[in-house]
Structure 1
Amino acid sequence: MVGVGASTAAADTVIDSIPVGELPTGVAITPDGSRVYVTNGGNSRVSVIETATNTMVDTIAVWDSPQGVAVTPDGSRVYVAHPFREVVAVIETATNTMVDVVSVGTLPTGVAVNPSGSHVYVTNQLDDSVSVIETAGNNLVDTVTVGDLPLGVAVSPEGSRAYVTNVSDKTVSVIDTATNTEVDTIGVGDQPMAVAVNPSGSHIYVTNQVDNSVSVIETADNNLVDTVTVGALPSGVAASPDGSRVYVTNAGENTVSVIDTATNTEVDTIRVGGRPVGVAATPEGSRVYVANVDGNTVSVIAVERCLGSLCIDTGALVGRGSMGSSGS
C-alpha cells in the first residue's frame, strides 16, 4: 500500500491474531525470522508460530509456568525460564523438543543470549542475581549479584555488557561480561520491567510500569538522557532492526506504543489484544509479534514506514499470511 502520511511517521497495523496457549507472555523470534516461540505460563507449553502463514505449527511440552524466552544466534536452541522450578529449559529447534534443563537461582524470569551464542544470562528475582550459563555444555558457570528483584535482561550487540532491570531498586545494573561483575548502576523510573538495546548498542530502553514511561540511557557513559511517556503499565520493549523505532507493550490499556528514537517521542499507538506483555520484531523489521495474556493470542503488526508523503506498508509487500488464524 502506498499513501500519504506524515513525515517520518510510523503507521503500523495489526493484520492478524494467532491463537496460542494459555497466558502467553514471552516472545522470541529465530534469526532467520521463520519461527516465533511463545511461552504459555498457564499450560506448560511453548507455542511455535510459522511467520510465513502466521499459524501455530507446533506445541512443545516444557515444565510448568514458562516465562522468559530467548533464541540462540544460530537458531538451534531456545532457552526458557521456569520461575517456580528454578530451572531453565533448553529446546532443540530442529525437533522442537526439550533436550536439557539447567538449575539456576530462585524465581528465574528474564533470559538473554549473547551475540556469539556462548552464554545465556538469567535473572533470578528472589536471589537478586543473574545466572550465567555456558551453552556448550549447558552448565551454570557463574552467578552475578545485582539489585533488588531483577527482572528484565538484555545483552549489548558486541556482547561486552548485560543490562538488568531491578524492579524494587528503580535501577538498571550493568554487568561486564568479561568478568561477570556489576560495574555500574543507573537510576531509572519506578518499577522498571523490561530492557532492550538498540542495534548499534548506543542506547538502551527501559519500561517503567508505575511511571508509564520509558527511560532512555546512553551506553557510552551509562547516563539517563531522556524519558518518554507511553501508555498505562508499560511492560515489554523491543527495538526495530534498524534502530529507528522502539515498540512498547502497554498492559494496562491493550496497546503498543511506537517510539521514534530520533526524537524520543511516541509517534503511534496500536491497539492489540488484552494485556499485552511480550514483544519482538522480526530480523528484517516488517513484523512485530505481541503476546496478549488475556485472550491467549499473539497479535501480528505489519510495519509501515513513511518518508515524506510516501508510505509503504511492508506487510502488504511481504504478504499477510492468514492460513487459518483469525485476522484482525
Structure 2
Amino acid sequence: MNHHSRFRAYHTVRGSAGHLLLWVSATFAMVLGVAGVVVPAAAADTVIDAVPAGNVPIEVAITPNGSFAYVTNSLDDSVSVIDTATNVEIDTLTVGDGPSGVAITPNGSFAYVTNLLDDSVSVIDTATNSEVGTITVGSLPFGVAITPNGSFAYVTNALGGSVSVIDTATNSEVKTVAVEAEPQGVAITPNGKYAYVTNRSSNSISVIDTATHTMIDTIRVGNEPRAVTVIPDGKRAYITNAGDDSVSVVDTRTDAVIDTIAVGNEPRAVTIIPSGKRAYITNAGDDSVSVIDTATDAVIDTIAVGNEPRGAAIIPDGKRAYITNSSADTVSVIAIDQCIGALCIDFASLTDPVWNAAGVFS
C-alpha cells in the first residue's frame, strides 16, 4: 500500500425583534425598488461560493485578521492560501507528506501544519508563505492547536497514543504526553489552562493541564470522537462522534457529558461562531453541515455543501464559514448572516432580548 492509499484508508426571528427585521428588510427592498434595482437576497446559512483547492483538502484555519484561509491538501502535499475578500486561491506552498491539521499563531505570523505520513510539523511564515522550519514529532501527527499566548503547539500523534508539546519560540518538541488510543482532535480552552484531546479508538477525551503538560482527566464520550472545540466562554466543549452520528457536550467545569446531540452522517469537524451562539458541524457521510443552537443544544439547520466535508473554520467577524470538501477538492463558503446585496443582517443580534443596533448592519 502506497502512502496515498494509506492516507485514504486512515481518514475513512421572534417578538419585536422579528418585526424589526421585517421592517428593515422591507424598507431596504422598497428603496431598491424605487431605484429600479433588483438585488437577490442570500438567506442566512447559505453556501455563497465554492473555491477550488488542492487534492483532497482536509483542514482549514483562518488568520486572526480574517484575511486568509490556509487549507491542507493531503494528496498533493501542499497548503492552499485563500484570500477571504475575493474567495480566490492566491498561493500554494509545498509542505511535508500528507498534510492534515493546521493552526495559526494568535499573532498571525506562523501556521503549523501536521504532516501525517512523515511524522513532522511544517512551520509556515504567513508573511512570505514559505516553510521556515520542520519539527519531528510522534507517529502519524494528525491535529494541532496553539495556546492563546502562542507559546506552545499541541500535536496529536494518532499512532503513538501521545501528544507532542512544541515550544514555538524554539520550534522544538519539549514534552510528550501519553493519552489514550488514536488521538486526533485537540482544542485549547480560551484561558489557555487545558487542552482537550479526542481519542478515536478509546471513545474518550483526555484533558491535559498546560501548565504541567500532564494528563489530569479522562472523559467517556460517543463512538469514534474526531474533533473538539471549546465555546468562547470556556464553559463547554463540543465533540463530534463519527461512529454514532452525534455531538457530545461536555461541561468543562466538571468534565462531565451534559448532552448528546444527533447530527448528520459521520460528523467530523466542529467550529463555533465568536458569539458562541451557534456551532457548525461537518458531516462527511452525507455532504452536509449541521447548525446547532448552543442555547438549546438543538440542530436548527442543515446546509448542503460539497462532497465529503471535513474541516471547518469561521472568520473572526463571524459572518462566514469555510468548509473543506475532501472528495470535491473545493472549499464551500457559507454566509452565516442574511445578505441583501451589500447589506448583511445579523440574526443573532436582532433576536437578542436586548439587541445592539450597531450589529444589524455591516
TM-score w.r.t. the length of structure 2 is 0.83
Letter in 2 for 1:145: A
Aligned partner of 1:92 among 105, 125, 143: 125
Aligned partner of 2:142 among 109, 117, 122: 109
1:174 corresponds in structure 2 to 207
Q: Which has the higher helix share?
A: 2
Q: Which has the higher strand share?
A: 1
Aligned partner of 2:175 among 130, 142, 145: 142
Unaligned runs of 5+ in 1: 5-9, 310-315, 319-328
- 1:258-278 CA-to-partner distances (Å, cap 9, x unmatched) read 000000000000111000000
2:340 corresponds in structure 1 to none
- Deviation of 1:210 (Å): 1.2
1:302 corresponds in structure 2 to 335
2:193 corresponds in structure 1 to 160
- Deviation of 1:65 (Å): 1.0
The answer (yes or no) to whether the contact 1:11–1:268 under 8 Å persists in 2 is: no
Aligned partner of 1:218 among 247, 251, 256: 251
- 1:84-109 CA-to-partner distances (Å, cap 9, x unmatched) read 10000000001000000000000000
- Deviation of 1:11 (Å): 3.6
- Deviation of 1:288 (Å): 0.3
2:173 is paired with a residue whose SS is strand
Aligned partner of 2:161 among 121, 128, 141: 128
Aligned partner of 2:67 among 34, 58, 68: 34
1:81 corresponds in structure 2 to 114
Distance, in Å, in 2 between the alignment partners of 1:55 and 1:308 is: 33
1:168 is paired with a residue whose SS is helix
The answer (yes or no) to whether the contact 1:237–1:279 under 8 Å persists in 2 is: yes
- 1:152-185 CA-to-partner distances (Å, cap 9, x unmatched) read 0000111100000001111000000111111000
1:153 is paired with a residue whose SS is strand
Q: Does residue 46 of structure 1 match 2:79?
A: yes
Bigger relative contact order, structure 1 or 2 (CA pairs below 8 A, ≥6 apart): 1
- Deviation of 1:308 (Å): 4.8
- Deviation of 1:239 (Å): 1.0
The answer (yes or no) to whether the contact 2:154–2:165 under 8 Å persists in 1 is: yes
- 1:124-162 CA-to-partner distances (Å, cap 9, x unmatched) read 011100000000010110000001110000001111000
- Deviation of 1:294 (Å): 1.0
Distance, in Å, in 2 between the alignment partners of 1:97 and 1:3 is: 48
- Deviation of 1:303 (Å): 0.7
Distance, in Å, in 1 between the alignment partners of 2:278 and 2:95 is: 33
Aligned partner of 1:242 among 256, 259, 275: 275
2:232 corresponds in structure 1 to 199
Unaligned runs of 5+ in 2: 1-20, 24-42, 338-345, 353-359
- Larger radius of gyration between Structure 1 and Structure 2: 2
The answer (yes or no) to whether the contact 2:325–2:331 under 8 Å persists in 1 is: yes
Distance, in Å, in 2 between the alignment partners of 1:206 and 1:227 is: 9
1:265 corresponds in structure 2 to 298
- Could you tell me the percent identity over the aligned residues? 52
Distance, in Å, in 2 between the alignment partners of 1:184 and 1:232 is: 29
Distance, in Å, in 2 between the alignment partners of 1:160 and 1:54 is: 35
2:313 corresponds in structure 1 to 280
